[in-house]
Structure 1
Amino acid sequence: MTERPAFAYVTYIESTPEKVWYALTDPDLTAAYWGHSNVSDWRTGSPWEHRRTDGSGLADVVGLVVESAPPRRLVTTWAEPGEEPPGGPSTVTFGIEAYGGIVRLTVTHENLADEAERAAAAGGWAAVLSNLKTLLETGSPLPEEPWHMPSS
C-alpha cells in the first residue's frame, strides 16, 4: 500500500492553550478568522461541519471528531460532503502545547489524496493559521483574507 501525502504546519502564538482551543472550536470565532464556522459539540464521535458564513448554511467540509482532549489535542476527519473519498477521508490533528506565555500549535493534515491536494492544504493552512495567530495576538484578524492573495 502506498503512503498518501501529509502536511504539517507549526506556529507559535502568544496565547494560552485554552484560548487557542476556543479559537479552533467556537463557531463565531472561527468565522472571524477562517471565513467558515466550525460547528460541533466537539465530543469524540460527534460530527462536525465547516459551514459557510454567507447565510446559506452550506458546509464545505464535514467529518467526525476522532479525538477531543481540551485544551491540548483535537483530531477530526476532513472530507467534502457526500460520498467518502477513495482511501477514506483525510485527518487533521491540532496539537496545542504551552510554553510559558506562548503556545506551539501544530497542525498535521494526513491521508491527502495526492500531491495537488497536499499543495492546496499547505497554502490553505498557512493562510488560516496566520489569520488565527494575528487574531489571538492583536484582537483582530488580518485586514484582508490571506487565502485570496494571488500566488506569485
Structure 2
Amino acid sequence: MNDRPSFVYVTYIEGTPQKIWHALTDAELTAAYWGHSNVSDWQVGSSWQHQRTDGSGIADVVGLVVESDPPRRLVTTWALPGEEPAGGPSKVTFGIEPYGAIVRLTVTHENLADEAERETAAGGWAAVLSNLKSLVETGSPLPEEPWRMPLG
C-alpha cells in the first residue's frame, strides 16, 4: 500500500461534461484560467506539458496521459521536467460526473512526495479550479489570479 500523501478536491460547476473536458484539455482555455497552456493530443501514452504562456515554450510540469475517456475521466502523471522522483511521479485524476445542468469535478492528486507538497498542491488546486469554474460559468476567469493571493 502506498502511504504517500494525496489530495482530493471536489467542485460543482454549471455546465456540461463536454465543456469541462474542453476546458481541461484545450491549450488556449487552460492558458486563460491556469496561467499555463496544457499541451497534448490527450491520447493514452502521449506526453503532456504545462507550458508557460510567455511565449518561451518552457514547461514547468510534464507527464504522460495514463487514461483518457472523454468527457468523463482524464488521468496524467505529473512531474518537474527532467526529474525522476524517488517514489515515481505523482498522478492527477480528473473525474467528471454530470447531474442535470451541473457537473461534479473531482480532482485527485496522488503520490505526493510529502506533507509540504500536499499543502502546496491543495492551495494550487483550489485557486486553479476556482478560476476554471468562473471561466466555464461566466465566460471569464476571475479578475485576479487567485494563486497570487497571500495566504493567511
Normalised to the residue count of structure 2, the TM-score between the two structures is: 0.99
Counterpart of 1:134? 134
Match of 1:73?
73
For the residue of structure 2 that corresponds to 1:43, the secondary structure is coil
SS at match of 1:112: coil
CA distance in 2, matches of 1:83, 1:115: 19
Q: How many equivalent residue pairs?
A: 152
Identity between Structure 1 and Structure 2 (%): 81
Which secondary structure does the structure 2 equivalent of 1:86 belong to?
A: coil
The answer for the alignment partner of 1:22 in structure 2 is 22
> Matches of 1:56 and 1:143 in 2, distance apart?
24
Please give the secondary structure, in 2, of the residue aligned with 1:140: coil
CA distance in 2, matches of 1:118, 1:27: 26
Cα displacement (A) at 1:2: 5.6
Unpaired runs of 5+ residues, structure 1, are none
Report what 1:4 is aligned to.
4
3-state secondary structure, aligned to 1:105? strand
SS of residue in 2 equivalent to 1:54: coil
Q: Distance in 2 between matches of 1:15 and 1:129?
A: 14
- What residue number does 1:47 align with? 47
* Corresponding residue for residue 95 of structure 1: 95
Q: CA RMSD in A?
A: 0.8
Looking at structure 2, the residues matched to 40 and 139 of structure 1 have their Cα atoms a distance apart, in angstroms, of 23
Structure 1 residues 82-121: aligned runs within 5 Å: 82-121=82-121
Q: Does 1:149 align with 2:116?
A: no
Distance (whole Å) between structure 1 residues aligned to residue 24 and residue 128 of structure 2: 11
Following the alignment from structure 2 to structure 1, what is the Cα–Cα distance between the partners of residues 38 and 127? Answer: 16
Deviation at 1:83, TM superposition (A): 2.6
Distance 1:70 1:2, change over 3 A: closer
